[in-house]
Amino acid sequence: MANYASRNDKLNKWVQEIAELCSPECIHWCDGSEEEYNQLMSHMVKNGNAIALEKRPNSFLFRSDPSDVARVEKRTYISTSIEIEAGPTNNWINPDELKNTMRKLYKGCMRGRTLYVIPFSMGPIDSPMSKIGIEITDSPYVVCNMHIMTRVGEKVIKKLGGKGDFIPCLHSIGAPLEKGQKDVSWPCAEMEKKYISHFPEENLIWSYGSGYGGNALLGKKCLALRIASNIARREGWMAEHMLILRLTNPKGRQYHIAAAFPSACGKTNLAMLVPTIPGWKCECIGDDIAWMKIAPDGRLNAINPETGFFGVAPGTSYDSNPMAMDSLKENCIFTNCALTDDGDVWWEGMDGDAPEHAIDWKNRDWDLTVSDTAAHPNARFTAPARQCPVICEDWEKPEGVPIDIFIFGGRRASVVPLVHEAYNWDHGVFLGATAASETTAANIGSVGMLRRDPFAMKPFCGYNMGDYFKHWLNMGDKLGTKAPRIFYVNWFRKDANGRWLWPGYGENSRVLTWMCQRVDGEIGADETPIGLIPKSGDLNLDGLSTDEEDMKELLNVDTNAWKAEISEIEKYFTQFGDRLPGRIKQQLEALKKRLS
């Protein structure tokens, strides 16, 4: 057993308690150093867990078990003493029952493995908006990803001090090794033993059985959203599944935008946007999570609590996101991508021709005649944010940046127009509360099914969603006239033949610039039953080949289609019972009236 590396008695006691429960071979306190990262990677390459990529300096490919490829929402739990506090959109188990089940699984689960203690900060270490977490894990893959995604090491332990508070995050892959037993390349537990559990009343996270993504990198969705959303509600701030970007117009005026889309719906692409309108500049502050507090001047300031990008690889290309591609040239971790014969990664949608031969994500020979994809549809890259060519110079500003605009959206082939603006804050909250999207491979389950995903937070809200709506309303009351404007977008509308109507990617800057002009009061908008849409000629289409008929369809608000949507919204809201705020009900009635 290693010596304790902390002056914090509470932390030392917790590590000792977990070590006694899980029975690791040894304990390693992570210092966050480059040397530590390199040693762990070398060890994993030697053991066959990782493949060093010849074409990308200091970059590695991992292949997960086929049962461990994405979020497992059906195995993710919000455990509160009273079930209604978790709400109808979360899976609930009584805390005593859940802990009893998981303690039995944790008993001896780290035999033959190292217990790693990862001190990490979500947000700049000196920011008043940041939180410290400690993750215990038996996965070196997790340690290396946390190096990229968070601020890890001795500076965090120093900031914590002897009396500082932290969020305990316990993780195990659930694959103990008996003496002499040979390990596998991706150890994990079978599906029915996977648990991603949150105890918000204690600010506690327990995860077991999965080594993949947010199931295992507990600073990400578990802490930064499910636990932080509870803390934010109690403390009066916001923890949201949102990108943050800075858009600067030709006159040098800066606008800060926070946008919420479900996974694999274009968040990373928008966060790293390259505007196609001359004179406009976009800079990335974050691509996935925003923590926001009301600043002394009354405005809502946001930080990105992460330090890296954990992005969906398939579909990422120089066409769709050149800045992401430039961020992936070195110092990256790739998971479930294909391996080319010349020692590089490949995925569907990447630039150029597909390789004639590759090794697929299941470690099988793959060529152009194989029907299966070479990369898993949810294959991922983990890349340091500092490598992004358009990373904003203020992305680690301790006080954050002031938000001007909120955007909600999703993947809808019909009904929802390209863009519309909320009439006011309450209407904007209603837009967020009724957001819907067609599901993607980021979540295990059916692909292409329409599901309500309020604020893109359905998988991540750590308490009753009805109370979450109320918290948004309360924040608007506190912000008053300084509240950000709210818009809703749909880049994914198709015509009757299934053809995309909007080119997307860099052309989305045309929609963002319209929003900025609306914020500045430079242009008007047309009223529709669902919100305000661009007047004819106000959306800058210079140099765009999209024809007039396509634009008409993109901005069309089909009253009959929206009337049909009403019944679905009512059915969705029914599950919240008396937790649904009256002001949301009023917005629904107002929509009905406008449609009639």
> Tokens standing for 461?
């809200």
Handedness of CA 327, 333, 338, 339 (dihedral sign): positive
DSSP label at residue 415 = S
Residue 546: alpha-carbon gap to chain centroid? 31
Q: Which of 276, 197, 190, 14 lies closest to 119 in space, CA to CA? A: 14
SS (H, E, C) 351-388: CCCCCCEEECCCCCEEECCCCCCCCCCCCEEEEEHHHC
- Residues paired with residue 293 on neighbouring β-strands, in sequence order: 301
* Amino acid letter for position 461: C
Let me know: does 392 contact 255? Beta carbons within 8 Å: no
* Amino acid letter for position 65: D
For the chain, the residue count is 596
> Tokens standing for 28?
């390693």
Q: Residue 79, CB half-sphere, CA atoms under 13 Å: how many? A: 25
Q: Which of 291, 288, 279, 216 lies closest to 259 in space, CA to CA? A: 288
Q: Could you say which of 109, 188, 222, 265 is catalytic? A: 265
Other beta carbons within 10 angstroms of residue 556's beta carbon come to 15
Let me know: does 379 contact 347? Beta carbons within 8 Å: yes
**Residue in this structure with the two tokens 């110079």, named with its chain if needed:** 393
> Tokens standing for 272?
């790293």
> Tokens standing for 371?
């029907």
Calpha distance 505→266 (Å, rounded): 8
Calpha distance 359→367 (Å, rounded): 8
Other beta carbons within 10 angstroms of residue 101's beta carbon come to 15
Question: Known catalytic residue: 392?
Answer: no
Residues identified as active-site: 265
